[in-house]
Amino acid sequence: MAQAKRATVYLEAALHRALRVKAAETDLSVSELVNNAVRAGLAEDAEDLEAFRARAKEPTSSFENLVSDLKRRGKL
């Protein structure tokens, strides 16, 4: 593990209890579980940002135009 930094995080009691149980069942520490969860969340954010970048040049349509088009085509 890279050099760890200490942080104080306040968890809801039920979440903390669930983390302790999961840590015991998986033979991981609570810190490892939290690090894994944060890493997974950040990876998901990175995927979302890449998807936004990839679609940045796609044409857009306003909500008003979309609703008008649906109404015109008899979908509303």
Rounded CA separation 68/65 (Å): 5
Q: What is the sign, positive or negative, of the torsion defined by CA atoms of 63, 67, 73, 76?
A: positive
Is 65 among the domain residues?
Answer: yes
Residue 2 counted as domain residue:
no
Q: Identify whether 7 is part of a domain.
A: no
Give whole-number Cα distances, 15 to 12, 30, 34, 72, in Å: 5, 11, 11, 50
- Report the alpha-carbon distance of residue 44 to residue 67 in Å, rounded: 31
Per-residue pLDDT tens digits for 45-70: 999 999 999 999 999 889 999 999 99
Residue at 41 is within a domain: yes
Global pTM reads 0.70
Is 50 domain-assigned? yes
The domain containing residue 29 runs over which residues? 13-72
Please report whether residue 37 resides in a domain.
yes
Confidence (pLDDT) at 1: 62
| Residue at 34 is within a domain | yes
Number of domains in the chain: 1
Tell me whether residue 68 is in a domain: yes
* Mean pLDDT of the residues in the chain: 95
Question: pLDDT band for position 2 (50/70/90)?
Answer: confident
